[in-house]
Amino acid sequence: MSGTNFLQLHTRDVPRGRRVAWLVSQVRTALREGRVETGTRMPPTRALAEELGVARGTVVEAYRRLTEEGLLTANRGGGTVVSASPAPAATTTGPISPNPGEAGAEPDLLDISTGTPDLSAFPRAAWLRAENTVLSGSGGRALSYAPAQGSYELRTELSSWLARSRGVLASPERIIVTGGVTGALSLLARVLLDRGLGTVAVEDPGAEGNRRILDHWMAGLVPVPVDREGLVVAELAATGTATVLTTPAHQFPTGVVLSPARRRALLAWARERNGLVIEDDYDSEYRYDRRPVRALHGMDPERVAHVSSLSKTLGPGLRIGWLVAPAHLHEDLVRARWATDLGSPVLPQLALAELLRSGALERHLRTMRTRHRRRRDAAVRAVAEHLPDAVVEGVAAGIHLLVLLPGHVDDAELAARARHEGIRVEPLSSMRAAPGPPGVVVSYGTHPPARLASAIAVLGGLVKRS
């Protein structure tokens, strides 16, 4: 099929930050109304993007979400076909589709797309010991209610841990335990929205999961470009929005560190605009070439909401994170958490407090740094061998690499073809609003060096043939 007549689409009046959601819902409606049949080939992403006057990444992302819902399927030849019609009700009014990691989990694929740490290294014995200590000593507290803000023991341990490791100075009273970074973002979004602050600037390219959560709650997202120095603050200032989500210690996905001049400019913007910087400090425990830069929060705690989680250190399934917000937001955030679900499960919070207290978490992190650094080195070597024209971006940190590909490569197609070869990899274009060079994000945390090398060799073969 060529052209998009069957979709009857018009981009008029759709703000940039909402175009993916808009396109998804338009395609769903076209399918539900029977304007397009199962087996129909969807227009190529580039053609549809041109026709609609949107970034190609917008179409790629919309197709990806529809594929996750089972409505579209990637073809062997790299195209996309309609595979089902949505059920008449519920699918459009129900919750957002599940997170990409879960929805995309296909056991037969070698998955280098999800930024998960090496879960086989989870400190099982130490965790079980900690739970045992808690259960035998807490007099039942671990099984009862705790403050919605989080258990006091955990907030006390986090207070000294954050000061030591990240330069975040916050008393236990000012720390909120959350359901990961995601939980912190949705609390912030709801409180900001209540105050009439409905838009948020996000990095472009940026973390797609965070964007989807904010897109769910907020009225609009405003993409702001990222360059070699991180977020382009001058462009942020031009957007008129008063809130920005950023990853200053290790930008996702480019891997660059926000430069000192940009850090100062960002905080100056926040003061002048009376704005808020949401600092996503998601993987700052892993810096392999030097000590990690300190958190932005330390430079202006009343302008920065600091968020992070255990997802890159112990495992995302624990759903434990934390938020330290400016004083004027704190009470409302705690209240929003209380009104949502009375807070996070207590036993894991107390077990984590015990791991922090005993030093077991710090020991675990030392092991993980060595292991992940070896995996990163192996991935970088494999890129040099199998993708000689590609460039690895960013500093030696975290658990992912951005690999920029030669300009003629279509990264979305490459990812689709890689899937047929048994490799799941995320194209850079799916993380962008504006067009830019092609690339793939290689998440190396869960794979031993040999497996990483074989996945990258497959990508190398596909690029050679493209």
Instruction: State which residue, 275 or 321, has the beta carbon closest to ligand PLP.
Output: 321
Q: Which residue's CB is nearer to ligand PLP, number 159 or number 313?
A: 313
Nearer Cβ to ligand PLP (311/429): 311
Binding ligand PLP (rule: CB under 6 A), the pick from 182, 246, 313, 446 is: 182
- Closer to ligand PLP by CB, 115 or 123: give it: 115
Measured from each CB, the residue nearest to ligand PLP is: 180
Measured from the CB atom, is 409 or 415 closer to ligand PLP? 415
Stretch that binds ligand PLP, among 141-149, 202-210, 291-299, 431-439 (CB under 6 A): 202-210
Say whether residue 309 binds ligand PLP (CB under 6 A). Answer: yes
Judged by CB under 6 A, does residue 284 bind ligand PLP? no
From the CB of 231, what's the least distance to ligand PLP, in Å? 13
Q: Is 151 in the site for ligand PLP (CB under 6 A)?
A: no
Token pair of 3, please? Answer: 């052209």
Q: Is 248 in the site for ligand PLP (CB under 6 A)?
A: no
Contact flag: residue 282 with ligand PLP (CB under 6 A): yes
Measured from the CB atom, is 47 or 365 closer to ligand PLP?
365
* Residue 281 found at the interface with ligand PLP (CB under 6 A): no
Angstrom distance (rounded) from CA 358 to CA 113: 34
- Binding segment for ligand PLP (CB under 6 A), chosen from 86-94, 102-110, 205-213, 447-455, is 205-213
- Asked if 210 is part of the footprint of ligand PLP (rule: CB under 6 A), the reply reads yes
Report how far apart, in Å, the C-alpha atoms of 427 and of each of 81, 109, 288, 314, 449 are: 19, 16, 25, 26, 21
Is residue 316 close enough to count as binding ligand PLP by CB under 6 A? yes
Residue of the chain from 44, 321, 394, 436 that contacts ligand PLP (CB under 6 A): 321
Nearest approach, Cβ of residue 446 and ligand PLP (Å): 12
Which residue from 20, 189, 207, 276 is in contact with ligand PLP, where contact means CB under 6 A? 207
Nearer to ligand PLP, 105 or 450 (CB): 105
Cβ distance to ligand PLP smaller for residue 43 or 209: 209
In angstroms, the CA 334 to CA 345 distance is 16
Which residues fall within 8 angstroms of residue 266, CB to CB, at 6 or more apart? 231, 233, 236, 244, 246, 248, 258, 277, 296
Q: Report the length, in residues, of the chain.
A: 466
Least gap, CB of 109 to ligand PLP (angstroms): 18
Residue 17 as a binder of ligand PLP (CB under 6 A): the answer is: no
CB of 132 to ligand PLP, least distance (A): 26
Q: Does 100 bind ligand PLP (CB under 6 A)?
A: no
**Binding residues with ligand PLP: total (CB under 6 A):** 15
Tell me the window of 207-215, 286-294, 356-364, 379-387 that interacts with ligand PLP (CB under 6 A).
207-215
Under the binding rule (CB under 6 A), the answer on residue 444 touching ligand PLP is no
Nearer to ligand PLP, 115 or 301 (CB): 115
> Is the CB of residue 112 less than 8 Å from the CB of residue 425?
yes
Tell me how far apart the terminal alpha carbons of the chain are, to the nearest angstrom.
23
**Contact in structure between 327 and 130 (CB atoms under 8 Å):** no
- Rounded to whole angstroms, how far apart are CA atoms 272 and 184? 25
CB closer to ligand PLP out of 207 and 379:
207
Q: Is 111 in the site for ligand PLP (CB under 6 A)?
A: no
Least distance between ligand PLP and beta carbon 282 (Å): 3
CB nearer ligand PLP, residue 28 or residue 155:
155
Interacting residues with ligand PLP (CB under 6 A): 115, 180-182, 207, 209-210, 247, 252, 280, 282, 309, 311, 316, 321
